[in-house]
Amino acid sequence: MKTHAINEPEPTPMQKQDGSQPLLSSRLVSTSILAAGLALLTVVLAITGIDYWSTRTAMLQDSRVEAAIVADNVSAALVFHDAATAKEILYALRASPMVIGAGVYDAQGLLLAQQVREGKPDLPATVLSLGMNGESERSGLRVLEMTQPIHGPGTTVGTLYIRKSMDAVYMRLGVRFFSTLLIAVCAMALATAMVLRSRAAVREAENRLHTLAHTDAVTGIGNRHAFNERLTAEIERARSLASRVALIYIDLDNFKTHNDTLGHTAGDGLLRQVAGRLHSVVRSTDTICRLGGDEFALILRLDMDDATLEKYEQRLINTFQTLDMEAGQQVNVTCSAGIATFPDDAPDIDGLMGHADTAMYRAKEMGKNRCVRFEASMNQAVVRRHAIEHALRAELAHGDGLAMHYQPLISAADESLVGAEALLRWTHAELGNVSPLEVVAVAEECGLIVTLGYWVLRTACRDAAGWNDAGAPLRVAVNLSAQQLGDPQFLQQVMDILREEGLPAHRLELELTETVLMENLEAGAHTLHRLSQLGIHLSIDDFGTGYSSLSYLRQLPMRRLKIDRSFVKDLPRQEHSRTIVSAIVALAHGLGLQVTAEGIETREQADYLTGQGCDILQGYVFARPMPAQQFLAFQARPRGQAM
Ligand code: C2E
Ligand code: MG
Ligand code: MG
């Protein structure tokens, strides 16, 4: 699938954290490197310490052996007080580079002979001045001294004194220390380079994953993840700066129809176009995300006044109009949008999202293609809607609060009863009487309408099967909603219900509004033809209030057309209504349809409509909708008597 980089999601809080993350992680890396360096240095120092100790111990042992040998050799020269020989023997010690001085003292402790390396101080003249005697040693930082008794025949004849410099030891230790250190530093540098390289690779992979997880694959703009993070960040920012944020939910109108007619690939193209257009409306500080399906969201930093925001809303609504599709065709797209602001409408994210959603639904209810601002009163409507949904579910599962009432349909020719319209009634313990319009609207929204619709149809058919069928057959007219007609099982269900309840098909009439018909163009026409073939009567309800195509309606197997009661209300005084009614009657008769007038409240209206050629009359002047039992009694009343 082709993706557009339309609007790269701006850094989300997580990404912002990421911004400070390099600093944090590089600090972490340098701290670990420092710790490793210190550890290595400690090891090197420890090795050097051990080295020093072992070298010094070895040197002492060697020196002791050396001193013993020299003492042994020099003993004869000392017995004979032969200074020259003694000096010569001492000379042999020069071979050891560490020896800087050596001397032989006689039994009286006086210096007999000495060998001192050039530049080094002479030895003390007496053994006493050495401060040492017998077999002893003394080690300073730079010098190691030792004395060794010289034994003659049967007695000690003198003392050998050797002075050694530690410089060579230090030199060797130094070389070892620095070379070990150098090796350690090189190893550290190599390890650091490897760690940094693999870290960079990991970071790159992480960034890529982050982008993928926050981008919508179809449009290339931020997805729901990005939206959640961005909204959280913007709310936090607004809190700290005491500023405002506006959240706009946008839902495309009738996207499903576009998707079905254009195909899914073109549908994706349309979504990309929408994202592109939205991008052209927003400012760089605003965020666009696709929440899924045909839902988009805008997050605005609200640094504008209400008038500017209104212009913004208008620009948003006007931005789509015609979209050029990839295949060359043009599509008209409208959207419904809802706005909620922080902190004015809601003090937190959940509230803000809920309110924007509520406002968006209100925009849909108000006829789509508009932007609606959230108002507190909308929430009461939402709460009521939820309560109705909850109660209706329970009612459909195991309640007995639902009932069908029947409003008589009267023949205009002789005012005989020809049938009744079945109208839903619901009395709930807490909600009271809920209007059928409200019940149907909620049921349509939450998907309960199909179940409810079948319950209505079955109840109406069952009741109608028991009606007095001695004279002309009495029809029951049942209202249908759009989703019912769209249900693939509808035809089969209607046939099953008629059979099971024992009602002949010609005694059932189905009322469909123009909107219901227009929302089920293709599949609807087929179903309607099949229903008509079965003998079921079809009528167009509330005629004149919808925007139907007459040429389309003409192709449908309709029997009857019901003039909406809004045109009946002001009859016969208002000329406008008179004109409309006579036009509708002429049109219906021209198309071979019967005409029903509903909402007749006065005798005058009934007479006028009869005079205009209406075929069937319905209204309070004849009877109000009544329970099934009462309708049975109504059938037995003398003709023309209202109830
Ligand atoms: P509708 O199909 O146009 O039904 C006629 C409405 O006009 C009924 O309102 C009826 O009580 C009312 N009415 C009849 N005569 C008069 C009159 O003389 N004056 C006035 N002011 N009103 C009159 P109701 O029962 O409140 O139903 C309203 C709408 O609810 C119906 O309009 C129909 O669209 C819908 N509805 C009712 N029951 C059902 C149902 O079982 N299924 C579906 N899908 N919709 C239903
Ligand atoms: Mg009706
Ligand atoms: Mg009606």
pLDDT digits (tens, 9 = 90+) for 258-290: 777 777 888 888 899 889 988 888 888 899 999
- Under DSSP, is residue 243 helix (H, G, I), strand (E, B) or coil? coil
* Position 641 confidence tier, pLDDT thresholds 50, 70, 90: low
598 lines ligand 1 (CB under 6 A): yes
Ranges of CATH 3.30.450.20 domains, the chain: 1-214
Residue from 451, 479, 561 whose mutation best tests the ligand 1 pocket (most atoms within 8 A of CB): 479
Return the residue whose CA atom lies nearest to atom 16 of ligand 1: 599
Instruction: Compute the average pLDDT of residues 296-323.
Output: 84
Q: Give me the CATH code for the 224-374 domain, please.
A: 3.30.70.270
Is this structure's pTM higher than 0.75?
A: no
Residue from 421, 423, 444, 509 whose mutation best tests the ligand 1 pocket (most atoms within 8 A of CB): 423
Give which of 212, 207, 206 is closest to 3, Cα–Cα. 212
- How far is the C-alpha of 36 from the C-alpha of 48, rounded, in Å? 18
CB 418 within 8 A of CB 641: no
594 lines ligand 1 (CB under 6 A): no
Report long-range pairs for 90-99 (Cβ below 8 Å, ≥24 apart): 90/114, 90/115, 91/115, 93/66, 93/162, 96/66, 96/164, 97/168, 98/59, 98/164, 98/165, 98/166, 98/167, 98/168, 98/169, 99/162, 99/163, 99/164, 99/165
> Strands 245-252, 295-301: parallel, antiparallel or unpaired by DSSP?
antiparallel
Would you state the pLDDT for residue 548?
A: 62
Instruction: Compute the average pLDDT of residues 521-525.
Output: 75
- How far is the C-alpha of 240 from the C-alpha of 178, rounded, in Å? 56
Report long-range pairs for 445-449 (Cβ below 8 Å, ≥24 apart): 445/385, 445/389, 446/389, 446/392, 447/483, 448/389, 448/392, 448/393, 448/396, 449/481, 449/483, 449/484
- How far is the C-alpha of 378 from the C-alpha of 345, rounded, in Å? 12
Query: Looking at the CA of 599, which ligand is closest?
Result: 1
* Position 615 confidence tier, pLDDT thresholds 50, 70, 90: very high
Residue from 463, 598, 620, 622 whose mutation best tests the ligand 1 pocket (most atoms within 8 A of CB): 598
Count how many residues are written for the chain: 643
Å from CA of 589 to ligand 3 middle: 19
Residue 188 has pLDDT above 80, yes or no: yes
Q: What is the tens place of the pLDDT at every residue in 30-75?
A: 788 888 888 888 888 898 888 888 888 888 888 888 888 988 898 8
* Position 608 confidence tier, pLDDT thresholds 50, 70, 90: very high
CA dist list (Å): 268 to 115, 400, 530? 102, 46, 35
Ligand 1 atom at minimal distance to the Cα of residue 456: 41
Return the residue whose CA atom lies nearest to atom 27 of ligand 1: 436
- How far is the C-alpha of 114 from the C-alpha of 94, rounded, in Å? 11
- How far is the C-alpha of 556 from the C-alpha of 553, rounded, in Å? 5
Ligand 1 atom at minimal distance to the Cα of residue 481: 44
408 lines ligand 1 (CB under 6 A): no
Would you state the pLDDT for residue 34?
A: 84
Would you state the pLDDT for residue 327?
A: 61
Phi, psi for residue 12 in degrees, rounded to 5: -85, 170
Ranges of CATH 3.20.20.450 domains, the chain: 405-424+440-635
Q: Would you say the C-alpha torsion 40, 167, 127, 74 has a positive or negative sign?
A: positive
Q: Would you say the C-alpha torsion 374, 332, 523, 528 has a positive or negative sign?
A: positive
Would you state the pLDDT for residue 500?
A: 96
Ranges of CATH 3.30.70.270 domains, the chain: 224-374
Amino acid at 159: T
Q: Does domain 405-424+440-635 have CATH number 3.20.20.450?
A: yes
Residue 5 has pLDDT above 80, yes or no: no
Q: What is the tens place of the pLDDT at every residue in 242-264?
A: 999 999 999 988 787 777 777 78
Residue 604 has pLDDT above 60, yes or no: yes
State the residue for tokens 């699938």. 1
Q: Does domain 1-214 have CATH number 3.30.930.10?
A: no
